Structure 1
Amino acid sequence: MTNAAILELFATISDIDLACSSERALEIFEGILQRFGLHSFLITGLPVPHDSEWHRAILHDGWASEWFTRYESEGHFPHDPCAARSRLSAEPFLWHQLPAGVLTPRARLVMDEAAEFGMKDGFCVPIHVPLAGPAVVTAASDRIEIPPGSMPLIETLCVHLYRKVSSFGNNPDNEEGSPLTARERELLQWSAQGKTTEDIACILGITTHTVESHHRNIRDKLDAINVVHAVVKALRRDEIQI
């Protein structure tokens, strides 16, 4: 890895540390990933495999919505070999480094189906925080271009990103008793005004994947079956106004 590339990664870490919002930190991170040929990434806690509410631990869902739907509908989480290894190991790894000979048929199916959705290879950076459960920052694409020797710096970048996004998630600008963050209420307010996912992404300067992730979290928190139902419940709770 060249000195210029190393300096750039250090500058990126500094930019993430100085970001004033999780959206800005994610935007910076996404820009670096694209230079390595990566187009999808996920930041999530790793509950025990049998936890049916595992998706509540997601801090940022940058997977394609079609893949998330398949992953959830097929019940892949308990069999995901990347999640399993990330729970047990603190060392970052590339997906192709998973030992194929010891993968169960269900684990192989998870990876094979991910490849069908354009995620043929990727990396995982496990995050192990004292007094907290395991987590992971993972990114993937159909072809990755990570220079030799760069993983230690990518690991540092992912750890800083996780801490930054977690700090915003753990200190939401909520009204007392509200399950929604200020950002979730803002997004739902736009939904109540009839704005589409694409509209909201443009208005807030975030990706459609981020909007969809917020919508999922909102539905979970309000126990709503869809966005319209969530809007109705939020209006009844005086979370938003129209």
Structure 2
Amino acid sequence: MSLRMYLRNVSDSQRIEALWEAHCNQMADFGFDRLLYGFTRYRTDTSLGDPEDFVILTNHPREYTDVFLSDSHYFHAPMVQWALQNEGAKSWQHIAEVMRSEGLSPQARAIYEFNQKMNVTAGYTVSFKSVSARSKGAIALTAEPGMSQEDIDAVWEKHGNDITLMNNIVHLKILTLPYNTPSRSLTNRQREALEWVGDGKTTQDIAMLMGLTSATVEKHLRLARENLSVETTAQAVLKAAFANQMFILDL
């Protein structure tokens, strides 16, 4: 698929699932058969936030993600650490450079050895420009089995600018599409009540607009707060807005 046609398809995508499938197929054409995208809006100096709030997209098998994404193992991965401190694209040759120069921590070495076992050995990481001090997004592009880092570096030499552009555009598109996990999902009534709060309506106003009692509106707002793991309705509105779960035509 040409770059122009690909970017047009990305622009027209309305659902994150279809966008991700198309992106995986496009990256596979360059030799990257496994992708892992992650984004957080809740980064601090010592944490990336609650994993339940991450946007995680991947086509890695479960036997890989169940380990890599559990117990914050990902936080110690050498290329994740690089992505947190940098922007742009980086060859995984960087890992070998770190091993030669300063070595890996025990946690990082454990992740490195697990990746070797799972044939996650060659690839590139693209770290995206942050939209705020607390946000960070990156994607790991894993080369298909049998390709060495030298092989995929040669592909990048030829197509790296286009690959970087495609991933940056997909990242920006993902930020505009609704995304939720089962533990963070809202019902239609909860979403509607939050939308009216976002419009500045009182509980009494919302009750009249939704044809409900004030007590029922309060119940919907309470359940929305619980589902989003926040303490106040204002925080619920903000978190739902971050996940693009408000003022949408269809979810």
Distance 1:69 1:88, change over 3 A: same
Distance 1:18 1:173 in 2: 25
RMSD (CA atoms): 3.1
Which of 79, 82, 104 pairs up with 2:79? 82
Distance 1:51 1:125, change over 3 A: closer
Partner of 2:190, secondary structure, is coil
1:115 paired with 2:116, answer: yes
Residue 169 of structure 1 corresponds to 178
Q: What displacement does 1:125 show?
A: 0.8
Listed one character per residue, the Cα deviations across residues 170-202 of structure 1 (whole Å, up to 9, x for unaligned) are 699962425xxxxxxxxxxxxxxxxxxxxxxxx
Residue 125 of structure 2 corresponds to 124
Superposed counterparts of 1:132-151, under 5 Å? 133-141=135-143, 142=145, 143=147, 145=152, 146-151=155-160
Is residue 127–residue 135 contact of structure 1 (8 Å, CA) maintained in 2?
Answer: yes
Q: What displacement does 1:156 show?
A: 0.9
Residue 210 of structure 1 corresponds to none
Q: What displacement does 1:82 show?
A: 1.2
Q: TM-score with structure 1 length normalisation?
A: 0.62
Is residue 38–residue 137 contact of structure 2 (8 Å, CA) maintained in 1?
Answer: yes
The AA in structure 2 aligned to 1:120 is T
The AA in structure 1 aligned to 2:39 is G
Residue 11 of structure 1 corresponds to 5
Superposed counterparts of 1:42-57, under 5 Å? 42-46=36-40, 47-48=43-44, 49-51=46-48, 53-54=50-51, 56-57=53-54
Superposed counterparts of 1:155-234, under 5 Å? 155-169=164-178, 175-178=188-191
Distance 2:124 2:87 in 1: 13
Residue 68 of structure 1 corresponds to 65
Is residue 59–residue 166 contact of structure 1 (8 Å, CA) maintained in 2?
Answer: no
Number of residue-to-residue matches in the alignment:
177
Distance 1:170 1:222, change over 3 A: closer
Listed one character per residue, the Cα deviations across residues 146-168 of structure 1 (whole Å, up to 9, x for unaligned) are 24142221111001111112211
Q: Which runs of 5+ in 1 are unaligned?
A: 1-6, 179-220, 224-242
- Percent of counterpart pairs with the same letter? 13
The AA in structure 2 aligned to 1:40 is R
The AA in structure 1 aligned to 2:106 is P
Superposed counterparts of 1:30-45, under 5 Å? 30-45=24-39
Is residue 16–residue 179 contact of structure 2 (8 Å, CA) maintained in 1?
Answer: no
The AA in structure 1 aligned to 2:109 is R
Distance 1:148 1:38 in 2: 14
Q: Which runs of 5+ in 2 are unaligned?
A: 192-226, 230-251
Q: What displacement does 1:38 show?
A: 1.8
Is residue 115–residue 121 contact of structure 1 (8 Å, CA) maintained in 2?
Answer: no
The AA in structure 1 aligned to 2:5 is A
Is residue 86–residue 127 contact of structure 2 (8 Å, CA) maintained in 1?
Answer: yes
Larger radius of gyration: 2
Q: TM-score with structure 2 length normalisation?
A: 0.60
Range with greater deviation from structure 2 (83-92 or 93-102):
93-102
Is residue 125–residue 138 contact of structure 2 (8 Å, CA) maintained in 1?
Answer: yes
Distance 1:121 1:148 in 2: 15
Listed one character per residue, the Cα deviations across residues 104-156 of structure 1 (whole Å, up to 9, x for unaligned) are 23213212211211211121111123225111022213326424142221111
